[in-house]
Structure 1
């Protein structure tokens, strides 16, 4: 008997953690050890039961929880109550599940009352809830898509009616008619190239080759399907990192090649789940220009809303995105064809691992355009949206080497109108005579803070402009408190390069100029600091115009390129 008692105590001692042994030192038999451990860890007191019961009755479904997660939490609390001696029946558990469901499950709760008692089991309830959750998810997707289409149609109708009402009211009041813009694409008045319906239609049907009748197209399908066996062999021998694979499980087109994107929004963030339950971080979304091999020719195309995922080692073409845009996929023995309006738009062949490889190749988005011949609109955009009249004069006078214009036709630049709006200057009757030397009279102004921080972390730029030569110098600042330091650097730069001391500096009434450090430095160096009247930027017109010109050029390029504005300064 004594041996069995010692064996029992040994088994219990060896089964618990070392930190729990101090509670068992005074125990003489195994039953005493078990009773002490039960009293410490089971906590079957009335207070613990009350706490668990209160938690169970006050529990509500979290907004982001699925049905499976919600049911699991309720069953876990019921199991805890059972461990402390308060076992709950299936009816109470089912009542708790139904009572904590969101409002959208109300039809199912009502229908559950009509189910016979024999079929009112917990397993049957959970099964019905999961089916209802899937049905509601699909219904919400379809409803959101329909609502989006209706909003877009309503906005288009409102815009059209607003334009017609405005023009009619202006004509009644005797106001002059608004300027009719000329489209650079269709050469018609009344709209810009950005809103040209002809351009949209041409882009939509660019790849739809339909030079013959419908019967001829049907008869020529065989010509589209024929592939040379040598060509197919060469395609399959390409590097697997540079090919596109057809994937029915991909929600969007995906690639890990950053250099393939002609347009990329790097602020876009998302996570993608893979088949092995791992996740990949999306680092951007954009457009990839491609070429598709059809009927012995390479046709231009592009993949929109493609995801940039650096950790993904394959390029995936989503069949879901393809079918949602009206395309049809036809799988055969060793090939797949993508149709649209009875025309084959793309072709793919089967690999040895049964995956389908599409006959795509990506255009090189970094090809340098070395041509120096172009129209006025092209060079206007290349040179930062400068004045077209000045550009034409510089080209005609051969002031720009290697540039020639074959078309000087006037055009309307919407980007300039959006990015170069400014206040009109004061009208002066006489001009100031500038008989000063270069570097003696300086105009300065600080611009910022910018709405976007630059890549280098700068939020301001400080402009200096010489009154005599109109030479400008710009400093990029992270903090406006660095203004005085940059002024000292510029003053030393002028003296070292020109041998001239700054005599007068004109600025506004900003605190970056009117502070003790700046005033003491100007007084020590003999520099006269002139300031404009408060809230009258026009009195400091030269620096203000220069600042507006630089800012508007950057904004014009951003509007034209449809890009973000964080690259306004260097990496300082």
Structure 2
């Protein structure tokens, strides 16, 4: 039998435990233990409630797993990510689920676009495969489908011709009797007048001469806005750089779907991480650089995000102004951008062939026939001379060159040359060809110590030859 002091100590400890349990429960669960007199009764009541809730949760999650399907608007990344969420719930409730069951669920729920993949998988499925391997193959298949659809659309647009309507014919017939206000000739209007184009060209020359007289021209932020870029936005809230363009990556590693929450509180998933070779503008020139740890998020928008936090972690100093932004390293500007509305656009672009790009510039360093030949779609020099004489193109000025060499035209029109027939007579009579053979190895050497000898066979030529 317990003494009175032991009973008093037990009641004190029991009261302390009941107080701890009572304070740790919410209002819903607290209602079930209000009638309990000891801590043991409280724990037994909570265990009964939790066991019943666990059984219900297992049934609910299992039903959710079997009812999960591919919904319209989904892609491979979002489907796998949603399935992983359900699988994680089942594992937290200690529901055993084999990888074969999960992979079978994925194959079963694929839409009709993946029928060929599903059929090839059933015919030659590997013995050991993981969900990550299957995800990589599905992403590659989805990327191939996207490329084929884009090629089909471009081919369809290229084959669509424009039909001349009766309205256009009527407008052309009306223009025959219209008199131009500029040159007083019939057949065109003032906006189509060639004399007006000549006037604009001369005005452009005068303006160019006036600019050439200037000794120093400062580059403003308005000029920087004209620099081409790939739409990278500076984001102080992003923890890594983000893009949806898979073909930009020079190296890409497929990872488990990683959740990324965007501005409208929607959860999208990154399925890869890698590096992108780019060029960055430092305010004076474009410099080759590399973006590391870029997340591949297929569902992301058309813009790309550059994480200012990741840049600061690498030692960059970020300076934001009213109209521009600069990223500096060791007191030297490495990257600039401009403010567009409430966002900062960074001057970042993919690596490109500067030689082919320079041919499309409005004002080049030289004005040769070769340069205009590239600008005008690789037309002949005679056509360029005719266009320059008639002044059909504004600003067409070229140096006098009789012949040019275009590597692109040579490679594009390259054909296989025919094989030449053999006209020389092959030797076929004994004596014209010397026959030789090496004999050996002999066990016993000769007097001179040799174990090999060469035998020559030379037959005399006939009188007829």
TM over 0.5: no
Q: Which category describes the TM-score, using the shorter chain as reference length? A: 0.3 to 0.5
Pair member with larger Rg: 2
TM-score scaled by length of structure 2: 0.39
